[in-house]
Structure 1
Amino acid sequence: MPTRHHLAILPTHPLRAGYDRTVEPGSVADRFQRRLEPDRFHPAYLRDLTSRIERALAAAPDDELSRYRLAFVLLQNNATAADVDRAARLLTGTSLPQGRRLTRLIDAISLRTEQPRVGRRVTRVNWSITNRCPMSCQGCYNPFAAEQISLDQAKGIVDKLAEHGTTDLVLAGGDPLLWPPIHQVVDHATAAGIRVALDTTGYTLTADKLARLSALSSLRLPLDGVTAEAQRAFRRSPDRNLHAALLESLRLCDQVGFTRVRVHTVANAKNLHQLDAIAEEVFSHPSVAQWVVFQWWGRRASPATVRALAVDPAELRSAVRSIRQRHPDREIILAEAAERELLNWMIQSSGQVVTFGSGPEEEFILGNLLTDSIETILTRPILDFDAMARGVPVTPRSARSGPPST
């Protein structure tokens, strides 16, 4: 009897818009550009792709593009220290801009290979627990998978995390509130002593659901504009009333007295001019304990989307600094794209564990919690334990003095 079942992926894969339509379907070039699609980004597909690139490289050993592709895929598929070394050799003397970018990443990985890994802990985990989502964000960087584990498997993963010593778990998606067993996963994790945050669009939030989520350390809700147009520039939805629905979710939290809300704003070229007004809206809600401003990044976006939405980090830094001066008592966190490189230890809906860099397509498989121990996954040389320790706290500052009230 199969233990997984397939779900429709609602959002369009964000890289698809930038595909090169001139390459032959099924060719190495085509398979390489499609490798991050949900039904392809898994070890078996990447092993097959590796073999195909190896054959192409054997026929043309000096082809820089083949060497770059092989180096990248080696890093993306449960890379060992030997894989990292080979990737470095493949890119020696590369003249490709993307090859030089990958070389810098490899150099940083190589510097960490001598760091001790035995006894290390991953204390904060992000879990993209479902693919289903009512939105299709421009350049969405959540690593959707094509499979959905069962509730029993999810509980087994929680047990592994608790035994390992994980203290903080962020349940995201997609939208976890669209996965019916999510409340049972929250209850199982909190009973195991793990602090749990839930990252939702708020689209289906109700008072009854909030009551069932009372044990959360924080509830994360999005707000990316004070107008519907600014909101839609990043988060797309067939519902033209999306912006009103997001504000209604915040008002609902106000009404029921849920005071551990963390608002996420993705700062981009279309809403940077509204950041002051967004801050005023956010802090008008007594339910909000923390505001996090994420710099939009184009790790999984087409070149056209990058040109439309990319924001200058210095300009964003200045805007947030000004807002902090006007709201000195509020917890305002700026998460720049460069600071999020290799920060996430993320479980996909299939149980596969990934991390990702800040550059295009930099997504790396580390293992699978249905088959691998956490200790085995932590031996992967690509992991940056210092980066993982820099993440935004799961629990807002105002709620850290004790357990959440129920």
Structure 2
Amino acid sequence: MGENIIKSICWDITSRCNDNCTFCYRNPDNKELDFESNKIILKKLIDFGVDKISFVGGEPLLYAKLYDLVRWGIMYAEGKTKFSITTNTILLTELIDEEIILKEREIKKILELFDWITFSLDAPNREIQSRMGRNKFHYERVIKILQYLNDSQFSKKIKINTVVSNLNKGYLIELYQMLCKYSIKRWKLFRFLPSRGNALKYQDKYYISETQFEDEIKKIKIKNKSDQILITTNGYENFDNSYITISSDGKLVVYNNGKYESKINLLYEDAEKILQYIDIKKHIEKRSDFIKIERIHEGQI
């Protein structure tokens, strides 16, 4: 095993998605690798000492062998690597006559399998959430799950991601209060990033300046002075070296100088080569929230 050099990697295990968010910057054209190929990549990442692997997408639950891959990874890592998932919750619910019904068995499955589960929520009500461009029932889906998990043994595993844009600025304090209500302990806010795909196409609709973004964050942090929620942020300057991504076709993708670049193919090359394309010191500094979060998770602070 390695010595936990890389703090966190996001793995776009599939580029497929069952939603079509108009601020999304995923690349929908990447092919998807088979189970054995992904197992080779996962082994390399664990051997290299990656602290946390986050399965994202696309919608990672659309990858048919996801659970098998994670179960194998948990067994192989022997506690050295933590596993996370970011899901849009569509496959965790059913829609019957416009009523959201939870798939409790599926929810319990990911709660038991993953160390962290991330849902996205951008507003404190359905109206503003709908303006953000996710699916029609996104707000109801997430709230229904948060209600189900509130005060349960699993609530500490939940993280919320929020895209901050011109459409939802001014509503984040209300959202903060809602997250407190549902016992959320970790919240990450991203400044809308018009890098590619839908996000680039609809950038005029969502664009928010760095000053506006920082003003919103300051208001939230004043409200959160007792640190009820661990809040982290990503403006544009935070993306370089912060997020190390593997695409669904196995390539290392880094975000530098405002654009995504594909580098080595981890199916054929050693994970150590990742270090040629990132500033590891800056990566560790920018992912320091992960270290603090793990201590919270383990009850040390």
Same fold (TM > 0.5) = yes
Matched residues in 1 for 2:298 and 2:181: separation? 22
Matched residues in 2 for 1:222 and 1:183: separation? 21
Secondary structure at the residue paired with 1:355?
strand
Q: Which residue of 2 aligns with 1:248?
A: 144
Secondary structure at the residue paired with 2:252?
strand
Tell me if structure 2 keeps the 8 A contact 1:144–1:349. Answer: no
Residues 47-84 of structure 1: CA deviation (Å, up to 9, x unaligned): xxxxxxxxxxxxxxxxxxxxxxxxxxxxxxxxxxxxxx
Change (3 A) 1:207 1:396: farther
Q: Which residue of 2 aligns with 1:195?
A: 82
Residues 355-394 of structure 1: pairs in structure 2 closer than 5 A: 355-357=254-256, 359=258, 362-380=259-277, 383-389=278-284, 390-391=286-287, 392-393=289-290
C-alpha deviation, 1:396, in angstroms: 5.6
Matched residues in 2 for 1:166 and 1:303: separation? 31
Secondary structure at the residue paired with 1:198?
strand
Tell me if structure 1 keeps the 8 A contact 2:23–2:133. Answer: no
Question: Percent identity at matched positions?
Answer: 19
Matched residues in 2 for 1:245 and 1:151: separation? 30
Secondary structure at the residue paired with 1:251?
helix
Tell me if structure 2 keeps the 8 A contact 1:169–1:197. Answer: yes
C-alpha deviation, 1:249, in angstroms: 2.3
Tell me if structure 1 keeps the 8 A contact 2:88–2:120. Answer: yes
- Out of 221, 235, 240, the position equivalent to 1:341 is 240
Matched residues in 1 for 2:221 and 2:295: separation? 15
Q: Which residue of 1 aligns with 2:178?
A: 281
Matched residues in 1 for 2:36 and 2:233: separation? 37
Change (3 A) 1:145 1:125: farther
C-alpha deviation, 1:125, in angstroms: 1.1
C-alpha deviation, 1:399, in angstroms: 0.6
Matched residues in 1 for 2:124 and 2:149: separation? 18
C-alpha deviation, 1:279, in angstroms: 1.0
Matched residues in 2 for 1:274 and 1:307: separation? 20
Matched residues in 1 for 2:4 and 2:117: separation? 28
C-alpha deviation, 1:310, in angstroms: 1.1
Matched residues in 2 for 1:289 and 1:120: separation? 24
Matched residues in 2 for 1:157 and 1:174: separation? 18
C-alpha deviation, 1:217, in angstroms: 2.1
Tell me if structure 2 keeps the 8 A contact 1:166–1:194. Answer: yes
Secondary structure at the residue paired with 2:179?
helix
Matched residues in 1 for 2:294 and 2:22: separation? 27
Matched residues in 2 for 1:153 and 1:281: separation? 41
Residues 304-325 of structure 1: CA deviation (Å, up to 9, x unaligned): 6222211122222222222222
Tell me if structure 2 keeps the 8 A contact 1:135–1:236. Answer: yes
Matched residues in 1 for 2:254 and 2:26: separation? 11
The ranges of structure 1 where at least 4 consecutive aligned residues each deviate by more than 4 angstroms after the TM superposition are 301-304, 394-397
C-alpha deviation, 1:256, in angstroms: 5.0
The one-letter amino acid of 1:347's match is I
Q: Which residue of 2 aligns with 1:131?
A: 15
Matched residues in 2 for 1:253 and 1:189: separation? 26
Change (3 A) 1:165 1:341: same
RMSD: 2.4
Residues 137-286 of structure 1: pairs in structure 2 closer than 5 A: 137-191=21-75, 192=77, 193-205=80-92, 206-213=103-110, 214-237=112-135, 240-254=136-150, 256-259=152-155, 260-286=157-183
Secondary structure at the residue paired with 1:149?
coil
Aligned length: 277
Q: Which residue of 2 aligns with 1:103?
A: none
Residues 50-61 of structure 1: pairs in structure 2 closer than 5 A: none
Q: Which residue of 1 aligns with 2:195?
A: 299
Matched residues in 2 for 1:384 and 1:202: separation? 34
Of the two structures, which has the highest relative contact order with CA contacts closer than 8 Å and spacing of 6 or more? 2
Structure richer in strand, relative to its length? 2
C-alpha deviation, 1:291, in angstroms: 0.9
- Contiguous gaps of at least 5 residues in structure 2: 93-102
Matched residues in 2 for 1:218 and 1:120: separation? 18
Matched residues in 2 for 1:305 and 1:396: separation? 36
Tell me if structure 2 keeps the 8 A contact 1:124–1:345. Answer: yes
Change (3 A) 1:338 1:138: farther
Matched residues in 2 for 1:337 and 1:229: separation? 27
Tell me if structure 2 keeps the 8 A contact 1:207–1:252. Answer: no
Matched residues in 2 for 1:397 and 1:319: separation? 27
TM-score, normalised via structure 2 length: 0.83
Matched residues in 2 for 1:194 and 1:216: separation? 11
